Amino acid sequence: MNIANLIGVIASLAWIAFLGVGALVLFRVSKKTPMKGGGSLLLITLVISIILSTVSAGLVFVNPQERGIVISALSPKGYRDVILEPGLRWIIPFAESVVRYPISKQTYTMSIAPNEGLNAGDDSIEARTADGQKVLVDASIIYSVNPEDVIEVHITWQDRYSSDLVRPVARGVIRDAVSQFGIEEVYSSKRAELVEMMNLAMKQKLSENGLLLSDFVLRNISFSDEYAASVEQKQIAEQQAQQAKFVVEQKKQEAEQARQVAQGRADAVVIDAKGRADARLLEAEAEAQALIRINEAIMDKPELLTYQYITKLAPNIDVMLLPNDTPFLFPLPEMQPSTPPELPIEP
């Protein structure tokens, strides 16, 4: 409670005390037992009540979120040219009064939802696009009274600026802006441009009438049932096309993957064949080198060839080899061929 209200309360109590003292004095007079000093007490309470009421009528406390306009019976214009700033102020008692205006931000909402807007029921804005389609627009306007133009707002609109200025201006701006765009531009490609156009138009029109636009919020855009159904069908078709494109890309990737696998296998076969050829070549070269060295070794020692021949004979052959020019004959040991193992006879 500020001091102006406190003094008003005290003044009211003083008047109650004055009435109480007056009633008591009259009661004592009616009983023929006048109260001693009753007249003086009654006069004192009257004077105090008048003084407190006068002070209470002259003191005004303006809150920080408010500005005050002094309505004056002593001014030729009917009001003071100076706006009351926040704080405790003094006006001429009983000749002047104060009208307060909030300068804090206010929100005016128009919505299709029954309980969201300031007006009950469907309060959305119906508009037509450049190609003749009907849309329903939900919007919120966040604004405030310009502190420097409070007097002009009071003279022109009083406290009707919300319903008589903000509402019709917003609805007109929205309809004008929507009519400059096609239906697809409204909800997709140029929605940001649409909002910016509305914002600029609202700001200009409100500033011309003493209001400041803080933000213009395009809450929602709804379409007719027929167009909404066609949009849904179009989106379904686009999704199906995207799905088909995805399947084609997937098949391409699978084919490319199979080709890469086959190419890898072919490369592996080539590398393996080349490795074996190189190994065979190295082996052949090694054999050739070995033959060259063997040939060089037996060239001067032919008996090495005979020795190699003997070592290569099968182990079950018993022979004795002598030089063909020896004059002696030696009996060879008896040789009996080993009996081959009996093989089972198949029935």
pTM: 0.60
Sign, CA torsion 299/304/306/311:
negative
List pLDDT tens digits, range 152-206.
999 999 889 999 999 999 999 999 999 999 888 887 778 889 999 999 999 999 9
Return d(Cα 144, Cα 166) in angstroms, integer: 11
Residue 68 lies in a domain: yes
Return d(Cα 232, Cα 337) in angstroms, integer: 100
Both 111 and 88 in one domain: the answer is: no
Both 117 and 96 in one domain: the answer is: no
Both 95 and 112 in one domain: the answer is: no
State the DSSP string of 110-146.
Answer: E-SSTTTSSSSS--PEEEE-TTS-EEEEEEEEEEEE-
Q: Are 225 and 150 in contact (CB under 8 A)?
A: no
> What mean pLDDT is reported for the chain?
82
List pLDDT tens digits, range 223-272.
777 776 666 677 667 777 777 788 888 888 888 888 888 888 878 888 87
Domain boundary among 180, 206, 223: 223
> Residues in the chain, how many?
347
Q: Are 56 and 32 in contact (CB under 8 A)?
A: no
Give every CB contact of residue 46 below 8 A, 6+ residues apart in sequence. Answer: 18
Residue, of 272 and 79, whose pLDDT is higher: 79
pLDDT band at 146 (very low <50, low <70, confident <90, very high): very high
Return d(Cα 302, Cα 308) in angstroms, integer: 10
CATH of the domain at 132: 3.30.479.30
Both 92 and 132 in one domain: the answer is: no
Both 111 and 95 in one domain: the answer is: no
Q: Are 135 and 127 in contact (CB under 8 A)?
A: yes
Which residues span the domain enclosing 165?
Answer: 106-223
Q: Residue 316: which of 286, 340, 281, 283 has the closest Cα?
A: 340
Q: Residue 2: which of 46, 58, 60, 47 has the closest Cα?
A: 60
Would the pLDDT of 57 be above 80? yes
Give me the number of domains the chain comprises.
2
